[in-house]
Amino acid sequence: MKKIFVLLLTIALVVVMVGAAFTAAFSDVEQSTGNTLTAGTLNLTINGADGKAAEEENLTVESLKPGDSGTARCWAIRNNGSIAGNLWFEITEVVNVENDLLEMETDAGDTTAGEGELGSQLMGTWKFRTSDEAEWQEWAPRYIDDMPNTPFGKEGFSEQVLGVLGQDESVEICLDYEFVSTEGNENNKAQGDGVQFNVVFHLEQENALNAESQPPSESQ
Ligand SMILES: [Ca+2]
Ligand SMILES: [Ca+2]
Ligand SMILES: [Ca+2]
């Protein structure tokens, strides 16, 4: 009886093993390895300079007199990152410097020793082009003093839209100036004065639902 039981168990094991061998007859395995997710970058450069070096890409125009005009400076603004973004810029921190309050200025009625008048007499026109062959496109001229709180180039806030700057794309942005001749002695109030400001370029992700990216000012 015991022998029969052992024999039956052996046969049963053989049947199971043969069955197991047949179920794994054909098979195949493939694998994908080294899977990586990486964030893209939005990185502006100004005339090829980045970060602190970009701050040095500024303009200096000296010894201006009424009637003078010209191009103060052009900047090549480039998206050196890996994803596209919307470009716009703003003028911030306009400071009118009186320097010395001269006799010609006080005679003309300049009574503010701590604040210059050049920014209210110097007209600026911002313009841009997307390539050397492209037409210049301009924003409406305005005095330097009136430039802050204007999101130049931002869709819905500006008459000219800079739009999308793709990877490795660049746009040339320039500032033309005109020292406006005024009636009477008004120009004399600006003798020796100076005006300083920052130009802040923004590159923002397309379709970003970020309320903080909206400029604080009203539309122009
Ligand atoms: Ca940068
Ligand atoms: Ca003054
Ligand atoms: Ca002055």
- Range of lowest pLDDT (64-68, 120-124, 139-143, 216-220): 216-220
C-alpha distances (whole Å) from 56 to each of 51, 151, 196, 198 are: 10, 22, 14, 11
- Ligand showing the shortest atom-to-Cα distance for residue 99: 3
The pTM score is 0.81
Whether 187 is covered by a domain: the verdict is yes
Distance 50 CA to ligand 1 centre (A): 5
Distance 113 CA to ligand 2 centre (A): 5
Distance 44 CA to ligand 1 centre (A): 4
- Ligand showing the shortest atom-to-Cα distance for residue 186: 3
Distance 60 CA to ligand 3 centre (A): 19
The per-residue pLDDT for 98 is 97
Distance 92 CA to ligand 2 centre (A): 20
pLDDT at 6 over 80: no
The per-residue pLDDT for 215 is 57
pLDDT at 216 over 60: no
Section 99-113 average pLDDT: 96
Distance 190 CA to ligand 2 centre (A): 7
| Mean pLDDT for all residues in the chain | 89
Class of residue 220 by CB neighbours under 10 A (exposed 0-12, middle 13-18, buried 19+): middle
Indicate the number of domains in the chain. Answer: 1
Distance 152 CA to ligand 3 centre (A): 28
Whether 28 is covered by a domain: the verdict is no
Distance 194 CA to ligand 3 centre (A): 9
More confident position, 40 or 213: 40
- Residue % of the chain over a pLDDT of 90: 78
Distance CA 79, CA 48 (A): 10
- Ligand showing the shortest atom-to-Cα distance for residue 52: 1
- Structural domain including 72 reads 66-206
- Ligand showing the shortest atom-to-Cα distance for residue 191: 3
Section 58-62 average pLDDT: 95
pLDDT at 211 over 80: no
Q: Are 218 and 148 in contact (CB under 8 A)?
A: no
Whether 36 is covered by a domain: the verdict is no
The per-residue pLDDT for 126 is 98
Distance 181 CA to ligand 3 centre (A): 15
Whether 182 is covered by a domain: the verdict is yes
- String of DSSP letters for 179-199: E---STTGGGGGTT-EEEEEE
- Ligand showing the shortest atom-to-Cα distance for residue 102: 3
Closest CA to 129 of 174, 90, 84: 174
Whether 48 is covered by a domain: the verdict is no
Model pLDDT for residues 80-97, shown as the tens digit of each residue: 999 999 999 999 999 999
Distance 96 CA to ligand 2 centre (A): 9
- Ligand showing the shortest atom-to-Cα distance for residue 42: 1
Whether 43 is covered by a domain: the verdict is no
Whether 51 is covered by a domain: the verdict is no
- Ligand showing the shortest atom-to-Cα distance for residue 192: 3
User: The sheet that has 164-165: what strands, in order across it?
Assistant: 164-165, 85-97, 194-205
pLDDT at 4 over 90: no
Whether 22 is covered by a domain: the verdict is no
Ramachandran assignment for 156, one of left (phi > 0), alpha (psi -120 to 50 degrees), beta (any other) = left
